[in-house]
Amino acid sequence: MNYLKLSIYSLLFAVLLISCKHHEEARRPISTASGTFMKKSADRNKKLVANEEDVIKKIIQSNPKVKYYATPKGYWFNYEEKNEAETATPRKGDIAYFNLEMKDIKGNIIYSDSDLGPQTYYVDKQDIMMGLRDGIKRMHKNETITFLFPSHMAYGYHGDNKKIGPNESLIVTVTLRNFIPDPEAQTAAPAAKTPQTVTPKPAVSKPAATPKKDTLTQ
């Protein structure tokens, strides 16, 4: 009887072990496929960025007389009009007033200045194109700058769902007309305290000392 029970337990244990092993092996291809997909996606994005940067660098090289500046964010720009008299640039919360024109990387106009009209932007408080979000903070009043944005600094893989397609690099010319400080940061100066008049307390006169009687007899 004990031998029969032992045999049954051994059989159940073997079935459980085989089932677990089979389940584990069945899951491995899913994990491997997921990792392969992520790697291929990352490689594809790197290749896309590299190709876009090569095109932009060829544009820069074809215009040796124009001074382009590279930025840590991965885009380039040049000054069409530079205002060296100004030192202040827009900061978070400031209200920027500007005009812009957008072209594709071949120089064809997508949106003209008249198409878009005057723009108002609360710096770092509104959702706009990533490149403009950073680029406007580099500008001074009455400056015009042309930016070369790869797609990851423009509208990315989805475009703008209108005239700008997926993964499209852009040439964007911006004129910053003016910007004003964040109204919420303009706090009124605290009112000066009115000096209080201190009324001097009247001096309290001490009572005259009573002369002591001479107790000595003459």
Element (H, E) at 132: helix 130-135
Asked if the model's pLDDT at residue 217 lies above 50, the reply is no
Domain ranges of the chain: 21-183
Q: If DSSP codes are grouped into helix, strand and coil, which group holds residue 200? A: coil
Residue 115 pLDDT more than 70? yes
C-beta of residue 56 within 8 angstroms of C-beta of residue 169: yes
Tokens of 82: 């530079």
Residue 71, judged by CB atoms within 10 A of its CB (0-12, 13-18, 19+), counts as middle
Check residue 18 and give its pLDDT.
57
Confidence (pTM): 0.69
Q: Label residue 109 by pLDDT band (50, 70, 90).
A: very high
Task: Answer whether residue 79 shows pLDDT above 50.
Answer: yes
Query: For residue 170, what pLDDT band results from cuts at 50, 70 and 90?
Result: very high
Question: pLDDT tens digits, residue range 127-169?
Answer: 999 999 999 999 999 999 999 999 999 999 999 999 999 999 9
Contacts of 135 (CB under 8 A, 6+ apart): 75, 77, 145, 147, 172, 174
Share of the chain above pLDDT 90, in %: 62
What 3-state DSSP class applies to 172? Answer: strand
Q: Which fold has domain 21-183?
A: Chitinase A; domain 3 (3.10.50)
